[in-house]
Amino acid sequence: MLAIKNQTLSMAFETMIELSVLLYFVSLFACGVVGLIIGLYAAKYQSRRSNCIVINLQGTIAAGKSTQMNLLRKRYENDSTVAFVDEPLDLWVQHGLLEAYYKTQNSLKLFTGVGFHNSFFPATFQLVALITRARLFVAAIKPPHIKLVFAERSMHADLHVFANANLEGDANIAAYQLVYDSLQALIPSTCHHHFFLHIDTANAMSRIRTRGRKGEDLIDLKYMQDLDDGHTKMAKAYESETHTFDATQDPNALHDEIVAHVEDLRRSLHSF
């Protein structure tokens, strides 16, 4: 009886792997097509965006990025030259991707004992996250009157933090890098600044438990430490464009600091 059960589990696992491989290559093809569409759409506006400042609010999960985006919306609600790019979180949740992502992480750890990196889904999800973010960013900078964009995270974080934390295997990494480079080459050039909202892992974990967002109950400490390491490395890689803020302080005080830096950058741009 036990042998039959083990054989059934083995067959189920083999079937899952076969489907994973098939879906993985289908996803790569779809990502390539969408990337091409985004590139053709963005290239039309390449020459117009050199005078646009992009403020990327970077930080780990529960650093307070969404809170600051909401405060910035209120601050600049009457400024028609300002646009906002939220993380496509609602889109991912709507399609069940975020919860499936964390469930895949935990279920494959339990089922195989070797982690989840060899599953198709982490690679697929990271490519979906990258492309959906790029689409929203291109739409935000399209109007020529837009001079300032606030973005919740960025493609830079997708690559340096989340892809690095979640992808293993040469094929997965090479495929992701190819899509990333292709999009970056085609998306209009802008003046990027990374506002790093820094919070220690223990505080971030506490906030995650408190807010109780669907799917985030599956996040573990090791993953959060990996994200923290990735953000620290990204801040060093873009040191000249990175401004670090203490995200543990009162949100309104943090907001005032952010706005002061933003207005300094706007004055600097207009002085040329």
Q: Specify the pLDDT at position 158.
A: 97
- Which one is predicted more confidently, 102 or 140? 140
Q: Please write the tens of the pLDDT for every residue from 32-77.
A: 555 555 555 545 544 445 689 999 999 999 999 999 999 999 999 9
Does residue 84 register a pLDDT over 90?
A: yes
Residue 58: strand, helix, or coil = strand
Q: Kindly report the pTM of this predicted structure.
A: 0.78
User: 252 φ, ψ to 5°?
Assistant: -70, -35
Please compute Rg for the chain using Cα positions: 20
Question: What's the pLDDT at 25?
Answer: 52
Q: How far is the C-alpha of 69 from the C-alpha of 73, rounded, in Å?
A: 6
**Which DSSP helix (H) or strand (E) runs through 229?**
helix 221-237
In the structure, what pLDDT confidence band is assigned to residue 216 with cuts at 50, 70 and 90? confident
Residue reference for tokens 């820094």: 198
d(CA 47, CA 93) in angstroms, rounded, equals 35
- Asked if residues 250 and 200 have their Cβ atoms less than 8 Å apart, the reply is no
pLDDT of residue 28: 55
For 148-210, the DSSP string reads EEEEES-HHHIIIIIIHHH--SHHHHHHHHHHHHHHHHHSPP-EEEEEEEE--HHHHHHHHHH
Residue 12 clears pLDDT 60, i.e. is over it: no
Asked whether residue 115 carries a pLDDT value surpassing 90, the answer given is no
pLDDT of residue 175: 93
* pLDDT surpassing 80 at residue 266: yes
Residue partners of 261: CB distance under 8 A and separation at least 6: 195, 243
Which band of pLDDT confidence, cut at 50, 70 and 90, is reported for residue 173?
A: very high
pLDDT level of residue 116 (50, 70, 90 thresholds): very low
Residue 242 has pLDDT above 60, yes or no: yes
Residue 120 has pLDDT above 50, yes or no: no
| pLDDT for residue 240 is more than 50 | yes
Long-range contacts of 241-245 (CB under 8 A, 24+ apart): 241/192, 241/193, 241/194, 242/58, 242/193, 242/194, 242/195, 242/196, 243/193, 243/194, 243/195, 243/196, 244/196, 244/198, 245/195, 245/196, 245/197, 245/198
3-state secondary structure of 226: helix
> pLDDT value at position 54?
97
Q: Is 197 left (phi over 0), alpha (psi -120 to 50) or beta?
A: beta
Q: What angle do CA 154, 159, 162 make, to 5 degrees?
A: 90
The distance from CA 96 to its chain's CA centroid, rounded to whole angstroms, is 17
The answer, yes or no, to whether residue 252 has pLDDT greater than 90, is yes
Largest CA distance in the chain: 79
For the chain, the average pLDDT equals 82
b/e map of 11-21 (b: 16 or more CB within 10 Å)?
Answer: eeeeeeeeebe
Q: Sorting pLDDT into bands at 50, 70 and 90, what band is 29?
A: low
- Specify the pLDDT at position 77: 97
Q: Tokens 């094929």 belong to which residue?
A: 171
